[in-house]
Amino acid sequence: MLSGYAKTEWMTIIVIGLLLCAASLLIGLWWLSIPIVLLVIALVLFFRDPDRRVPTQRGVMVAPADGRISSIHEVERFEPFDEPATCIRIFLSVLDVHVNRSPVHGVVESITHTPGKHLNALNPQSAEDNESNLIVLVHPIRRKPVAALRQVAGLLARTIVCRTHEGMVLQRGQRLGIIKLGSTAEVYIPESMNPTVQVNQGDYVWGGQTILAHVVSNDRPVPEEAMATQKQPAEPQSSEAATPAKPQAEANSAASASD
């Protein structure tokens, strides 16, 4: 399946490829159509969009894109959260799937596009200087930050597509856009979510499928079951009240014996 976020690009590639093949056949150079077809297939594969099995367990955060973990580091103060955060950076090569997915269930609070350079994504400085798009997600009810996804353009990837808007509810693993060709994707997790990172630098991850971290919110309400166990036990009944009354037949026989 090909991504609808890049439909114009892959349709243009296919049409041009067909025209070139037709032209090579008309001029008698039929063998030219073979490398043309192979080149078209290679270019179209840049925009593939496979389905993924998204984890269903609670308290997990998934990778927003396919690629290799290039950095895991702590940020002393991440301004959109107004608190420290853990950053997990993923490098997407030209051979990886470039569709981006939501790392967690949440509501889009803000989308901030920042113009910048287009340095090679292999250069660590590119994550700081390149054009980027930051999507901040908050809890649907408590409205506290739960994650942020940063789409970073690369040397060849000069187009960032973000098909979300403020107030939109995203499910974990839901497609939200694409960075065309090589690029970088970053996930920021608030310190208040108590993240336990499950990946290491150098690991390969699959978008919407690989678990990046386990998270637990500090202000999660206490479950009703836990509240019930904290209640004081009821007062025990007195021994007099607990003693069952004698059956009527036994009482009548005792009276007869006393007579």
Dump pLDDT digits (tens) for 99-120: 999 999 999 999 999 888 877 6
Q: pLDDT tens-digit profile of 135-194?
A: 999 999 989 999 999 999 877 656 788 999 999 999 999 999 998 776 889 999 999 999
> What region does 161 belong to: left with phi over 0, alpha with psi -120 to 50, or beta?
beta
Q: What share of the chain is helix, strand, coil (3-state, %, to 5)?
A: 25, 30, 40
pLDDT bin (cut points 50, 70, 90) of residue 8 is: confident
Q: Cα(179)–Cα(22) distance, rounded to whole angstroms?
A: 32
Residue 3 a catalytic site member: no
Q: How far is CA 87 from the centre of its chain?
A: 14
Helix axis angle, 33-44 to 7-26, nearest 10°: 180
Distance CA 195, CA 145 (A): 13
pTM equals 0.77
Section 28-41 average pLDDT: 90
How far is residue 107's CA from residue 129's CA, in Å, rounded to a whole number? 27
Q: Give 255's pLDDT tier (boundaries 50, 70, 90).
A: very low
For residue 226, what pLDDT band results from cuts at 50, 70 and 90?
very low
Q: Is the pLDDT of residue 256 over 70?
A: no
Residue 225 or 87, more confident: 87
Condensed to tens digits (0 to 9), the pLDDT of residues 57-85 reads 999 999 999 999 999 999 999 999 999 99
Query: Which of 3, 70, 132, 183 does the annotation list as catalytic?
Result: 183
Percent of the chain with pLDDT over 90: 51
